[in-house]
Structure 1
Amino acid sequence: MLRNYFKIALRNLVKHKVFSFINIGGLAVGMAVAMLIGLWIWDELSFNKHFANYDRLVQVMQNQTFNGKINTQTAQPMPLGYELRSSYKSDFKYIVLSSWTQEHIIANGEKKLSIEGNFMQAEAPEMLTLHMLKGSRNGLTDPSSILISASYAEKLFGDEDPIEKVIKLDNRHSLKVTGVYKDFPFNTSFRGVKFIGAWDLYVTTEPWLKRALTSWGNNSFQLFGQLAPNADIYKVSAKIKYSKFNKIKLTDDVVGTSFKPTIFLHPASKWHLYSEFKNGVNVGGSIEFVWMFGLIGVFVLLLACINFMNLSTARSEKRAKEVGVRKSMGSLRRQLIVQFFSESLMIVSFAFVLALVFVVLSLPLFNEVADKRMIIPWNKPVFWVIGVGFTLVTGLIAGSYPALYLSSFQPVKVLKGKLRVGKLALLPRKVLVVLQFTVSVVLIIGTIVVFRQIQYAKDRPIGYDRNGLIYSIMKTPDIVNHYDAVKNDVINSGAAIEMTASQSPVTEVWSNSSGFTWKGKDPNSQDDFGIIGVFYDYGKTIGWQFTKGRDFSKEFKTDTTAFVINEAAAEFMGLKDPVGEIIGSVGGPERYKIVGVVKNMVMSSPYNPVKPTLFYLNSGRGDVITVKLNPKVSSKESLVKIETIFKKYNPAVPFEYKFADFEYNKKFGAEERIGKLSSVFACLAVFISCLGLFGLASFTAEQRTKEIGVRKVLGASVMNLWGLLSKDFVKLVIISCLIAIPIAYYFMHEWLQRYEYRSTIAWWIFIATVIGAMMITLLTVSFQAVKAALANPVKSLRTE
């Protein structure tokens, strides 16, 4: 019996090639979208789960109160790590201090590579359950040791065994390779860690790190832990809550205690998906996108199933006689239902195979857009189990309405040709089309709002000229030690017109400070300024825009104790005429005179207000060299010249640089990924919805064949008939828009609240979407409408 069902279904597919192509193609697109989103969601939900102790792994975080507002941060003081180790050792199996992931130069003879990595305490490999390929996890007990990832071990040593080999770090430290570990997966918070250096070496590399050993106010480090087997994360968080605050009180740190720091633990299960905090409370994070794209996947697949229903019922009269004959020969309704479900499952199976092809072809591009490294798990049985289940569920959903509808025909009426479908019979299909276009319109509006928000932030005045601006982060002091000579050579080469150095790149603020005093300061007010040390000509190089005062100048020796501040700092301090005012330090002798005010520079997030920032002269420390390229010389030629000069003074370190405009644009990466993915899904949803309209238009034209023939005989023009058949669909789209607009407005308004610097939802977005939806509708249904209007009325009436 089933064999007969499949044979009939296959014949119908071959006979009606266009409908078969649309049915299978529409389902395949919907299933492919659902598969891609499913892979993406699985990747997101499995973040960090490769750790063997995933459920015990935590990060130590803190809340600080700033002028009545609670800020949450991951940065911790170094002494906190030692305090938790000694006073709360029964609650933790491991406590590990870590630096931030930064680039360093590692050299093996003449082979030099720039590698990102961390310095961690010796227990880190055990806590992170490193998969050691060579060596052991206790390889960091010696300060002169280092662990490297398998990928970079191969780049550095090729086929040689790297164990016990000596490499050079930042041209300063000779370190022995004591272990090679398997690279961290891409979907982990540590994916950029390509080497792990010994913590004891790190804390002796710079004088400020030695001072940080006892400084409770220096929040410059990360702190991770693994809970003891029987420890409860909430109880431990409550225990350690005031561990920092109590220590600060003992040091009489007035500024530190005013921030009322409280410590808590953040589990590994929430590092990625629940990373956002507002006023000290976890408000979610990437989990919102998981829900959003999950719903999009469900809706897109549902749209494809709706198409199948519409296209199947559109051909109802062509299958009516078949149903009538089968019933008159003794077929039961349940047998007909099984037949139509069998056809549905066969079509969905073909669509599943085609969907797999679509996924294989599109996955590389999807990975690039989504910033993922996903693969299809062909060799995992669970994938095929889910695939078969997915196909069955889709087949049952898609085939449910046609099976129940077609099997309900009465054989007597069908065989006498008296089958008539009233207006109420069209209602379910109209509702389905309204649902389709409602989803599509919501996605279109959402995509426009996302891209508009991105463009709004991109068009924001940034307060400096980033054109032709490059910077290089110094990994060794050699260039700064020969700064004047390097600068002269670079300028004289014609490659650049300006050069300077600073403690932060122009696209970031690396250091904050508080505890300043000024005239008229509210004694209850708390301050937290970005603070950046710069060399002379910093302003000329990046294009500072002064609103008051002047730049630093060698003509004024007192500028070594001067500040240039931004507008945000002047506003925060309440200084109407800041130039000449003195800024002091609580408990310290330092006094700085304000010599200039510059326009706000967007150095951090382009979506947030500019942080109050103080700039001061610090010609002794230049972590970043910034160069303004000569606009009259090609960038390629200029960079070759600059590289030659840098290698002359620092041959041991590769010349690496970043364009300021490129790094600034990277700040929009997350939003642009969401926008691109949303636009792709919106286009696919519109495409699938148009197939639904095509199905309903075909069904309507088929049902009104006699009416169209009579109207043509009575003199109706093609235009009249086109309008007659099209107006119903326009009404459906208008209803969809009326439903979609308030839904889209609500969700996008909530999404925009994530950003302090945000655009508005303009009225024209809704008007443009409605017009676009109506144009798409008319283009879609016009083919069927015009085809029906041009049909020979004699043939139509004779057929009836």
Structure 2
Amino acid sequence: MLRNYFKIAWRNLAGNKTYSFVNIGGLAVGMAVAMLIGLWIYDELSFNQSHKNYRQIARVMQQQTLDGEINMGGNVPAPLFKELQTNFKTDFSSVVITSWLQRHTLTYGTATFTKPGNFMSAGTAEMLSLKMKSGSASGLTDPSTILLSESTAIAIFKNADPVDKMIKINNDLDVRVVGVYEDIPYNSEFHELGFIAPFALFVSSNQWVKEAVENGEWKNSSFQILVQLTENTDYKVVSDKIRDIKLQKAGSDDLKFKPQILLHPMNSWHLYSEWDNGKNVGGRIQFVWLFGIIGVFVLLLACINFMNLSTARSEKRAKEVGIRKAVGSQRVQLVGQFFSESFLIVFFAFFISLLLAWLVLPTFNGIADKQMFIPWRDPVFLVIAFVFTLFTGLTAGSYPAFYLSSFQPIKALKGKWTPLGLRATLPRKILVVLQFTVSITLIIGTFVVYKQILHAKNRPIGYNKQGLVTMLVNTPNLHRHIDALLDDLVKTGTVTSLAESAAPPTEVFSANVGFNWKGKDPGLNSEFATIGISHDFGKTVGWQFIAGRDFTRTLSSDSAGFVVNEAAVKFMGLANRGLNHAVGETVTWDGKPFKIIGVIKDMIMESPYDPVKKSIFFIHPRGGRFITARLNPGTNSSLALKNIETAFKKYSPDSPFNYQFVDQEYALKFAAEERISKLAAVFTVLAIFISCLGLFGMASFIAEQRTKEIGIRKVLGASVTNLWQLLSGDFVILVLVSCLLSIPIAWYCMDSWLEKYTYHTNISWWIFAAASAGTLVLTLSTVSYQAIRAALLDPVKSLRSE
């Protein structure tokens, strides 16, 4: 019987090629989209699971009350490490203190490489379950050792064995390679970790770190701490135990910030990383839900096509059903027959969707910034694929199977059954409206996301990012020769100015408290972004002064001066009489007086979607680890970079020349939103394609069904335009209803999404108008071919008797 079912199903498919193409093509595209989204969701949900102990690992977080709001951060004081190690042994099987991931130079012989790495204490390899390719991870107990990732080891040593080889970190620290670990998977927070050096080496080579560790500085929160809980230990219970450690240990000055220590589990780092006033408000999990819903709806659109075309063709299947019932077929057998057709179509569509997904996956990975693959040999994947195909077949085939099997044999055989009644057409109309409601909602959402990105890109940034190049400096040689370096470059006509800073123009690495000024509320606990710079930084980046002046070398008093941004002046209440009056005001920092010499427009150094941090710029005695150069506008950038590299090598021959264009670094701040925008646009186009494919099939069938009616109307004088309006009108009305339904849904969803951005665009009326108009044009374009083709038929052929 089953064999007979599939034989009949195959004959029906082969005999109705347009119907088969629309159904199989639509389902294949819908299933491919659902498959890609499924891979993306799996990658997001499995983030950090490559670490064997990820359920027990947590990041130690610090909560403080600043400016009346509760702030959460992963920066904690160094003494907390020993405190957790010593007094909470029963709760933690391992405690690791680490620096922040930064790029460092690694030198072997005459070859120098720049790689991202961390200084981490012993136990790191075991906590992160690193897979050692050679050597041993236990060597981190020796402060003169280093572990390399496999890719870093290959880059430096090629095919040679790196174990026991000596290399230099930042041209200063001699270390011995004691092990090579397998590259950490891309869907891990630690995938960039190119090397791990002992934290003890970080302490011994940096005076400020040594003071923070040895003097027990609870005020200096510049470190990260990772912990691994013992088995069967509850995060909340342990968080409650350690909550007040800093409150008990810190000095009286820190008590006003109400510090609390908490644990953030590793399995929440990626998807639940956003905080609002001390409460976790989610994060990327919203995109998991968003794309999950999109995937379901796109697949549903393809299933709707199948339902609509199957029920629309019911007139041709009515007599078949009547005959089968007359010769004794039970309804359950007919349901089985129609389901077999559905599963045959879905079976073909599934294999085509696999091919489509495999072909587009590299491009999809590029857009989504992933390294996903289809796990062909994974039994779990095969089971999921089977369930996925079964679900799609049941979803697509259920309505046609039960609908077609319900025909009464007598009416069907007498020809009295008609599919054009309200009961027959209303479900199809509802499904078409649902299709286009989803599609138009996606179009509007894509427009809003794109508009939000443009809105943030057009935001004034407070400096001129064009022609700026930033270089990381890991050696003091360049700082000692900074003036000579500038002279050499100016002579070549390459650059117009050069400056040092503790952070690049697109980042804020430091924030401090302890500021006081005239009129400050004694109960206000404030944190300011603090950026150490050299005298020419403002000139180099192109500060826009509102009041006062820039730093100058001719005035030694500028070493005790501040240049502040507009946000800082407004926060301190110094703008009440005008921003000019802020110049000359005294601000104390940990008791030391500084005078405000200038006020600049807010300079966006972090997220362009958030308010600018109140910032203070001061003269850094050591210049900083970054050099920023302003290229001469009339110089070719490639030639300029070559000249800069030559000058750099002159004063620091062993250092690699690494640079970033500031405008490119700033553009990266839009990467996450742009990825979402591109993915949404791709899925929207595919959703519209599937919907239009269904319309094409429906229009084709209706035109065929109304052939004789069209012939009669032509004989009676109807024009091609009249007939086109007749055949297209119903579809236009359905799309207009979809527009009316989708507009409030899209407005509500996108308004809620925009609320998470402090700096956001508005939802303009033209977005809804453009989405509706564009969909109507697509609808008419899709339907018109079949409508005009039917209208142009010779009425003699249309009215010819069967």
TM-score (norm 1): 0.97
Deviation at 1:703, TM superposition (A): 4.1
Q: For residue 488 of structure 1, report the CA deviation from its aligned partner.
A: 1.0
CA distance in 1, matches of 2:521, 2:339: 76
Question: Which residue does the alignment assign to 1:570?
Answer: 569
Conserved? CA contact 1:102–1:118, under 8 Å = yes
- Matched with 1:206 is 206
Which structure 2 residues correspond to residues 535-550 of structure 1 after superposition, within 5 A?
A: 535-550=534-549
Q: TM-score, normalised by structure 2?
A: 0.97
The match for 1:393 among 391, 394, 401 is 391
Deviates more, 1:164-173 or 1:711-720: 711-720
1:134-149 equivalence runs, <5 A: 134-149=134-149
Q: Identify the residue that residue 291 of structure 2 maps to in structure 1.
A: 293
Q: 1:621 to 1:555 in 2, by over 3 A?
A: closer
Q: Does 1:64 align with 2:64?
A: yes
- Structure 1 CA distance, aligned partners of 2:386 and 2:430? 30
State the match for 1:605 in structure 2.
607
Which runs of structure 2 are paired with 1:71-150 in the superposition (5 Å)? Answer: 71-150=71-150
Matches within 5 A, 1:702-717: 702-717=704-719
Q: Distance in 2 between matches of 1:275 and 1:545?
A: 34
Q: What CA distance in whole angstroms lies between the structure 1 residues aligned with 2:500 and 2:54?
A: 42
Moved more, 322-331 or 429-438: 322-331
Alignment of 1:166-185 (within 5 A): 166-185=166-185
2: CA distance, partners of 1:748 / 1:601:
28
Number of the residue aligned with 2:578? none
Q: 1:546, 1:596 within 8 Å by CA — same for their partners in 2?
A: yes
| 1:266–1:723 Cα change, 3 Å | same
| Counterpart mapping for 1:312-711 below 5 A | 312-421=310-419, 422-576=421-575, 577-586=581-590, 588=591, 590-711=592-713
SS class of match (2:673): helix
For 2:190 and 2:148, locate their aligned partners in 1 and report how far apart those are by CA, in whole Å. Answer: 13
Q: For 1:320 and 1:34, how far apart are their aligned partners in 2?
A: 34
Q: Equivalents in 2 of 1:316, 1:473: separation in Å?
A: 71
**Range that drifts further, 222-231 or 293-302:** 222-231
Please identify runs of 4+ aligned residues in structure 1 that moved more than 4 A. Answer: none
Whole-Å Cα distance in 2 between the matches of residues 412 and 714 of structure 1?
35
* Structure 2 contact 22–694 (Cα < 8 Å) conserved: no
* Partner SS for 1:591: strand
The aligned residue for residue 736 of structure 2 is 734
Residues 709-764 of structure 1: CA distance to partner in whole angstroms, max 9, x if unpaired?
A: 33223222111121122222122112112221111111111111111111111111
CA drift at 1:646: 0.7
1:135–1:179 Cα contact (<8 Å) kept: yes
Deviations 1:1-27 (A, max 9, x none): 333332332233233222222211111
Deviation at 1:799, TM superposition (A): 4.8
Q: Classify 1:272/1:365 alpha carbon distance in 2 versus 1 (closer, same or farther; 3 Å).
A: same
- Aligned-pair CA distance for 1:219: 1.3
Match of 1:30 in 2: 30
Q: For residue 330 of structure 2, what is the amino acid of its counterpart?
A: L
Between the aligned partners of 1:267 and 1:718, the Cα distance in structure 2 is 68
Partner of 1:785: 787
Aligned 8 A contact 2:540 2:630 in 1: yes
Of 730, 750, 753 in structure 2, the residue corresponding to residue 751 of structure 1 is 753
Distance across 1 between alignment mates of 2:232 and 2:694: 57
Q: 1:432 to 1:523 in 2, by over 3 A?
A: same
Q: 2:258 aligns with which of 257, 260, 263?
A: 260
Given that 2:65 and 2:525 are in contact with CA atoms closer than 8 Å, whether structure 1 keeps it comes out as: no
Are the counterparts in 1 of residues 22 and 697 from structure 2 also a CA contact under 8 Å? Answer: no
Contact 2:568–2:616 (CA under 8 A) maintained in structure 1 = yes
Letter aligned with residue 465 of structure 2: R
Q: Which residue identity lines up with residue 644 of structure 1 in the other structure?
A: T
> How far 1:544 sits from its partner (Å)?
0.8
How far residue 706 of structure 1 moved from its aligned partner, in angstroms, is 3.9
Q: Could you give the per-residue CA deviations for residues 8-60 of structure 1, whole angstroms, max 9, x where no partner exists?
A: 32233233222222211111100000100010111111111122212111111
Instruction: Select between 463-472 and 322-331 the one with higher mean Cα deviation.
Output: 322-331
Offset from partner CA, 1:638-691 (integer Å, 9 cap, x none): 111111111121111210100000000100111111111001001111111112
Q: Which amino acid aligns with 2:265?
A: P
* TM-superposed deviation, 1:325: 3.6
SS class of match (1:89): coil
Q: Distance in 1 between matches of 2:451 and 2:126?
A: 47
- SS at structure 2 position matched to 1:220: coil
Matched residues, number = 794
The amino acid across from 1:790 in the alignment is L
Q: Does 1:773 align with 2:772?
A: no
Which of 238, 241, 256 is 1:239 aligned to? 241
Counterpart code for 1:628: R
Report percent identity of matched pairs: 57
Q: Quote how far apart the aligned CAs of 1:122 are.
A: 0.5
Report the AA paired with residue 48 of structure 2.
Answer: N
Uncovered stretches (5+) of structure 2, i.e. residues with no partner: 576-580
1:272 alignment partner AA: H
1:344 maps to a residue whose letter is S
Contact 1:164–1:178 (CA under 8 A) maintained in structure 2: yes
Q: What corresponds to 1:222 in structure 2?
A: 224
Residue 283 of structure 1 deviates from its aligned partner by: 1.0
Describe the superposition over 1:420-453 as per-residue Cα deviations: whole angstroms up to 9, x where unpaired: 1212210111111111111111111111111111
- Report the alpha carbon displacement of residue 468 of structure 1 after superposing the two structures with TM: 0.7
Q: Is the 8 A contact 1:245 1:261 kept in 2?
A: yes
Deviations 1:107-152 (A, max 9, x none): 2212221111111111111111111121223120100011111111
User: What one-letter code is carried by the residue in structure 1 that aligns with 2:493?
Assistant: G
Could you tell me which amino acid in structure 2 is paired with residue 156 of structure 1? I
* Other structure's SS at 1:139 match: helix
Counterpart code for 2:8: I
| 1:314–1:695 contact (8 Å) kept in structure 2 | no
Q: CA RMSD in A?
A: 1.5
Q: Which amino acid aligns with 1:446?
A: G
User: Is the partner of 2:562 in helix, strand or coil?
Assistant: strand
